[in-house]
Amino acid sequence: MKQLSWAAMTLALGITPASLGFGQQAKGVVQTESKITAQKSHNSAQAQRSSEHEAILSLTSTVSEMRQQLAEQQRLTRELKAAQDERVQDSAIQGQLVKYTRWLVYVGVIQFIALIFQALIFFLTLKRIETQANLMRVHALHLENLSTAARDNAIAARANVDALISSERPWILVDTGEIPDDFAANENSVEILDVQPVLRNSGRTPGWITRGFIRSVLIPTGRQLPPEPDYSGGTAETPVNIIVAPNGFIQALHVSIALSVFAAVRQGTQKLYVYGFVDYSDSVNQTGQTRQSRFCIEYHVPGGFDPQARGFYMAVNVPIAYTRCT
C-alpha cells in the first residue's frame, strides 16, 4: 500500500510541470485533475492509513494475544519446571527416606538379632539358675534331713541324758514307816503320838536334804483337802542338812498328834492327814539341781466290808499338788 501511494504522488508531480508548458488554457483543467487526483490520493492514503491502522491494531491485538499466550506458556513452563523440581525434590527426599528406611531396617534386624541373643542368654541363665535352684533345693532337703537327724539325735541324747540322770540321780521319797496304831483313843487322854515319816533315798547317788516341812490337819468327813497345800507356818518347817546315801533312810521330820484327836477320827466324824515336803540336791556339793518331794499320809479307819486295816497309809485320793515330785 505504501508503494502505490508513492507512485501516485510521483505521477502527479511529473504531470504538473509538463502541463505548464501548454499554456494558460490547460492550466485550469490540470488543476482540476490535480485536485481530483490529490483527493483520490488523499482518500487512498486515508484508506491506506485506515487499513494500516486496522492492520496495526490487528497486529497489536495478535502480538498482545501472542504475548499473553507466551506469558501463559512461560507461566505453564515455570509451573511445570516447579512441579518437575518438586518431583525431583520429592524423588530425592523419597530416595533419602528409602535410604534411611533401609538403615532402619538394618538397625531393626541388628536389634532383632541382639534380642534373640539376649533371649538365648536369658534362657541359658534361667536354666542355670533353675539348675542351681534345684541343687540348692536338694542341698536344703539334705540339710533339713541332717537337721532333723541332728535334732532327733539331740532329742535322743537329751532323753538318754535325762534317762541317765533320772537313773543315776537321787530320789528322796517319803513313806509311812512303822507308825504304831495299838493305842487307845480317848477324848480325855493327854498323851501324844509322834509321827515320824521315813525319808528314803531310792536313787543311785547320794542326796543332800536341805529343808523339810510337815503338818497334821483335821477335816470333817465328806470334805476334801484344798487344791493347794498350805505350807505356811514356821513351826512346821524343819531345817535339815544331811546326806542320804543310796538305799539309805532317815526320819528327820516329825509331828506330834494328841491321842484325843484319834477318838473323833475313829468314830468317823473327822479325817486326819499328815502332809509336807522335802527339798534336796542331787549333788553332794550342793551345786546340782534342787529337787522337791511332796507327801501326804492319811489315817485310815475301815468301815463296812473294807478289808484294809486301820492305820497310817500314803494318801491316794488327794489333790496332785500334795504328792508332786521333781
What single-letter amino acid sits at 41? S
Residues 97-126, mean pLDDT to the nearest whole number: 89
Res. 27: pLDDT tops 70: no
Confidence of residue 46 (pLDDT cuts 50, 70, 90): confident
The pTM is what?
0.53
Least confident of 44-48, 80-84, 247-251: 44-48
The 10s digit of each residue's pLDDT in 220-279 is 998 999 999 999 875 567 778 889 999 999 999 999 999 999 999 999 999 999 999 999
Q: Which of 71, 88, 72, 249 is nearest to 172 (CA)?
A: 249
State the first-to-last Cα distance of the chain, in angstroms, to the nearest integer.
164
Confidence of residue 6 (pLDDT cuts 50, 70, 90): very low
Backbone angles phi, psi at 142, to 5 degrees: -65, -45
Res. 124: pLDDT tops 70: yes
How many residues in the chain?
326
Res. 283: pLDDT tops 90: no
pLDDT of residue 217: 94
Res. 133: pLDDT tops 50: yes
Residues 281-307, mean pLDDT to the nearest whole number: 83
Q: What is the mean pLDDT of the chain?
A: 82
Burial of 110 (0-12, 13-18, 19+ CB in 10 A): exposed
Report the percentage of the chain scoring pLDDT > 70.
86
The 10s digit of each residue's pLDDT in 200-214 is 999 888 999 999 999
Give me the DSSP letters along 58-126: HHHHHHHHHHHHHHHHHHHHHHHHHHHHHHHHHHHHHHHHHHHHHHHHHHHHHHHHHHHHHHHHHHHHH
Residue 200 CB neighbours (<10 A): 18
The domain ranges of the chain are: 1-168, 172-322
Least confident of 24-28, 32-36, 111-115, 272-276: 24-28
CA of 244: how far to CAs of 171, 178, 293, in Å? 10, 19, 14
pLDDT of residue 22: 42
pLDDT of residue 174: 95
pLDDT of residue 67: 83
Q: Please, are residues 219 and 181 in contact by the beta-carbon 8 Å criterion? A: no
Res. 18: pLDDT tops 60: no
Q: Please, are residues 253 and 278 in contact by the beta-carbon 8 Å criterion? A: yes
Q: Which of 324, 253, 262 is nearest to 299 (CA)?
A: 262
Least confident of 77-81, 152-156, 162-166: 162-166
Confidence of residue 109 (pLDDT cuts 50, 70, 90): very high
Q: Which of 267, 265, 254, 273 is nearest to 193 (CA)?
A: 254
Confidence of residue 28 (pLDDT cuts 50, 70, 90): low
